[in-house]
Structure 1
Amino acid sequence: MMKALITGGAGVVGKALCRELEARGVCVRVLALPGDTLASSRIPSGVELVYGDVSDYGSLRNVFDGVDVVFHLAAILLSTKPGEFERVNAQGTRNVVSACQDAGVRRLLYVSSISVTYPVLTPYGESKLAGEQAVRDSGLDWTIVRPTLVIGDGGGVEFNMYARYVSRFPVYFLPGGGLAQKRPVRSVDLVQGIASAGLCDSAIGRTYALAGPSSMTMAQMAEAILRGRGLKHRMVSLPWGICKRLAALRGWIGGQSVSAEQALAGFLYDAVPSIESAEKDLGYHPKSPFDA
């Protein structure tokens, strides 16, 4: 039986990927952070649980033994600590590559981010792009997937922050009127796309965007969120000149764990990639996250 290792497998997307891979007849091992005492309660029964930190290569040496394919999900999305994205997302991915090479694992699926396509990268985007480069240079049988905004199944840190923000008060402010276009993706569709990409030989050496079936503006997304919650809040457009001077924006939207730069990036840049290659190669056919 094929054996897969999922780094970050105790997270929301990771545990759903555990179930998806098991349903496809794959034996699953999950890498969780040392000290994560709740990891065993979050993953499905029957999944092997091991501990290690991708930013500490020494903790990975025995974890990759006997594995056929690695699904590298472990990453941090939000941080204001200098160097943290580089340490975990970039160097962590280099360590995963090295661990694959040393253990003789040929197949590697790397979960990147659509933010690597933004015209100006945040530190988070830079770290994920550096991870992509490490994967491409690895000499392994690699595949890269770039999820867009994730919705559903309790996941989607960015979406959940946005939903809380627009739902909190009767009036909410959107930078530039919330005109940036997005293709949000359901968590269940993302997980199926990740599994297919990591198990499909024809996906080797390819990079896929995993997005939803259609685009919508941030303002339209807010309306859909509020409609689903039975709320009728009023949006006020905030000029970009004001937004760029308001470091407080991070507090409104993401709290102290997100920088103002990162909070603004999602409102500034479109993320509407084509999913044609994923549809063709992976049988990827997502549904709208906001369908009734």
Structure 2
Amino acid sequence: MLALVTGGAGVVGKALCRELMAQNVCVRVLTLPGDTLASSLPKEVEVFYGDVTKPETMRAAFDGVDVVYHLAAILLSTKAGAFDFVNFQGTKNVVDAALEAKVKRFLYVSSISVTYPILTAYGQSKLKGESYVKAAGEHGLRWTIVRPTLVIGDGGGIEYNMFAAYVKRFPVYFLPGGGKSLKRPVRSVDLVKGIVAAGLSEYTRGKTYALAGSTPISMAQMAKKILAAAGKRHLMIPIPWWIARRVAVLKSWIGGRPVTAEQALAGFLYDAVPEIDSARRDLGYNPGNPFA
């Protein structure tokens, strides 16, 4: 069996490649031309260079592929239309290429942020991607969708690393709403096992799974654990939402230039504690607690 992993040179992508190879699956990666991270992939991985926003550059990567794991996306941007261009249009191009190559299975890595009551531009782009993947089922695409939560471990996810850097940076830090929103962060090692299982099983066709960790934790509790691990004792000051929305500098402290204020604050506003019973049942998914 041959699996194509788009965006496979990233943190989760590389871990996914290792897990696939551990299950005796041959792996091919599609990554951007000039991506230096590709050099750190296992030597057994076949690397194709192409851009998901430019269909003509990537079609060859789909030849002979049995299953596509579509990870390629952008998480951070302040450029108007960037999320739609890469995350939706790019997904559309990958789906179309898979259909043209008659790929048997398609696994789309979405985001738990598509479940937020009010979607950011990022969440909107991932939800549109989900819709296109599902619609392709009418043309024979055997799809599965997974929605990861906050990723921790193996280098960490971008969002978690940004939050950890923020709470460690200043002796006093502010949390919108007092950091009461709840999360179920997932260890990267558990996440990739769930992703691989979802893509290889025929039983998961036409289904969507949340891939979260075992234990809910508030943002405030998470901050305390991050600081304890770093040997720091910083003071948290809660701030009301109406102030958080108006203090532009908070965006810079939390995320920096690549992040809009809307996206920086969304993670503090909404809970992300999905049920994982269906993933446990169908995938044998048994995640641990990243902070245990």
- Report TM bin, short chain: over 0.9
**Paired residue for 2:96?**
98
Q: Within 5 Å, which residues of 2 pair with 1:111-150?
A: 111-139=109-137, 140-150=141-151
8 Å contact kept, 2:31–2:38? no
8 Å contact kept, 2:55–2:97? yes
Which amino acid counterpart does residue 67 of structure 1 have in structure 2?
A: V
Distance 1:135 1:33 in 2: 22
Deviations 1:95-153 (A, max 9, x none): 01100011111210000000000000000000000000010001210000000000011
Which portions of structure 1, spanning 4 or more consecutive aligned residues, are displaced by more than 3 angstroms? none
Alignment of 1:17 with 2:16, yes or no, is: yes
8 Å contact kept, 1:248–1:260? no
Which amino acid counterpart does residue 41 of structure 1 have in structure 2?
A: S
8 Å contact kept, 1:32–1:39? no
8 Å contact kept, 1:13–1:187? yes
Shift of 1:170: 1.1
8 Å contact kept, 1:183–1:214? yes
Q: Within 5 Å, which residues of 2 pair with 1:181-200?
A: 181-200=182-201
Distance 1:40 1:11 in 2: 8
Which amino acid counterpart does residue 19 of structure 2 have in structure 1?
A: E
**Paired residue for 1:69?**
67
8 Å contact kept, 2:48–2:61? yes
Deviations 1:34-54 (A, max 9, x none): 121x13322111100001111
Length-normalised TM-score, structure 1? 0.98
Q: Secondary structure, in 3 states, of the residue corresponding to 2:96?
A: helix
Q: Which runs of 5+ in 2 are unaligned?
A: none
Alignment of 1:165 with 2:166, yes or no, is: yes
**Paired residue for 2:34?**
35
Q: Secondary structure, in 3 states, of the residue corresponding to 1:144?
A: strand
Q: Within 5 Å, which residues of 2 pair with 1:245-264?
A: 245-264=246-265
Which amino acid counterpart does residue 12 of structure 1 have in structure 2?
A: V
Distance 2:179 2:41 in 1: 37
Q: Secondary structure, in 3 states, of the residue corresponding to 2:136?
A: coil
Shift of 1:201: 0.8
Q: Secondary structure, in 3 states, of the residue corresponding to 1:286?
A: coil
Shift of 1:155: 2.5
8 Å contact kept, 2:30–2:58? no
**Paired residue for 2:86?**
88
Shift of 1:235: 0.4
Q: Within 5 Å, which residues of 2 pair with 1:3-14?
A: 3-14=2-13
Which amino acid counterpart does residue 15 of structure 1 have in structure 2?
A: K
Alignment of 1:215 with 2:213, yes or no, is: no
Distance 1:183 1:161 in 2: 17
What's the Cα RMSD here? 0.7
Q: Secondary structure, in 3 states, of the residue corresponding to 1:138?
A: helix
8 Å contact kept, 2:184–2:217? yes
Q: Which runs of 5+ in 1 are unaligned?
A: none
**Paired residue for 2:233?**
232
Alignment of 1:54 with 2:55, yes or no, is: no
Which amino acid counterpart does residue 17 of structure 2 have in structure 1?
A: C
Pick which of 127-136 and 245-254 moved more.
245-254
